[in-house]
Amino acid sequence: MKDRLLFLLKVLISLGLIFYLFSRVELGKVAGAIGSANYWYLLLALALYFLAITLGCFKWQILLRAQSIEVPLLSLLSYTFVGLFFGNFLPTNVVGVDLVRGYDLARHTERAAEAAISVLVDRLVGLIAFISIAAAMAVIAAYLTGLVSLRLLMVATVIALILFAVGFALLLSRRLRALLERLFDLPWLLGLAPLYRRLSQALGFYRHSYDALGKAFLISASVLIITNFVNYLIVLALGGGISLLYIFLFNPLIAFVLLIPISVGGIGLNQSAYVFFFNLVGVPEVKSLSLSLIMQVIIILASLPGGIIWWRKRRVASLAMETEEVWEGEVSG
């Protein structure tokens, strides 16, 4: 019941945001812009988005190796695509991309704590890379344009970068984890103590894994650069009109906004973030809204292989179960 109410609330928020945005622009102009887009650019954008997903899985593989866990890249791609699919198409967004791929990895390796930590570190390194590039681009954009709005954004992104870096360092701190472990001596937390120790031990693998963390950071930065060019290709498909500088500045910030779990598949929230940020530099709402809608379609299309993979896995499992039942019946007979 609670999940249904939460899902209903997210649907209402998504619809409310979409209605608000559509009430601010002429839908005919948005439809015309999308309808006249250069679809060769869009196909290239979709291909680049698949490349970004693949690179993200390669980063995940590197972080797993730091824990001495070997998983084939194709398996990680499978877990990621299924996670992306459910993140877009589940009737509730409670089961997120990270939870789904972490669950699949835990089943494969039978090391739940290590799987959970690898997903957490993967996400955090990615966020630090994103906010680092956003902060650098904010400094450049504020200097080049002199816009007050971008100066304020520069201050906000630099502060966010410092907080993320400090938070990640504290997370890896052995002393802090030992201090937190004392809480599990309390009677009502005693049963969770073994789980916390496993999680703490798994996190400890990354304490001195500078090579793995450095590579993961660089790959995350590469993933962001690729998705920036995905957005730029969409802009070119729409006839241009948005500087690549602003895409490099706003795209990572939009990714942060989409972490807020208040909508279904990011619909509505994604579009609102695009319109809000690009409005800061005078981009017409028709252009930014068209860009966001096409990007949403690319995100959804890129997640569809996950549905096929999930269906095939279920089909294989079902056939195996039927075969086992038939075999048991013949043996009993």
In this structure, are residues 127 and 59 in contact, taking their beta carbons and an 8 Å threshold?
A: no
Closest CA to 65 of 179, 212, 172, 207: 212
Distances from the Cα of 23 to the Cα of 20, 28, 30, 234, 281, angstroms: 5, 12, 12, 23, 21
Cβ atoms of 116 and 101 closer than 8 Å? no
pLDDT tens, position by position, 298-318: 999 999 999 899 888 776 555
Percent of the chain with pLDDT over 70: 85
DSSP 197: H
pLDDT, position 23: 80
What residue type is assigned to position 221 of the chain?
A: A
**For the chain, which residues make up each domain, given as ranges?**
2-332
In whole numbers, what is the pLDDT of the chain averaged over residues? 83
Q: Which of 126, 24, 29 minimizes the C-alpha distance to 80?
A: 126
Which phi and psi (to 5°) does residue 28 adopt?
Answer: -60, -40
Whether 132 shows a pLDDT value over 80: the answer reads yes
58-105: pLDDT as tens digits:
999 999 998 888 999 999 999 999 988 887 765 444 346 778 888 888
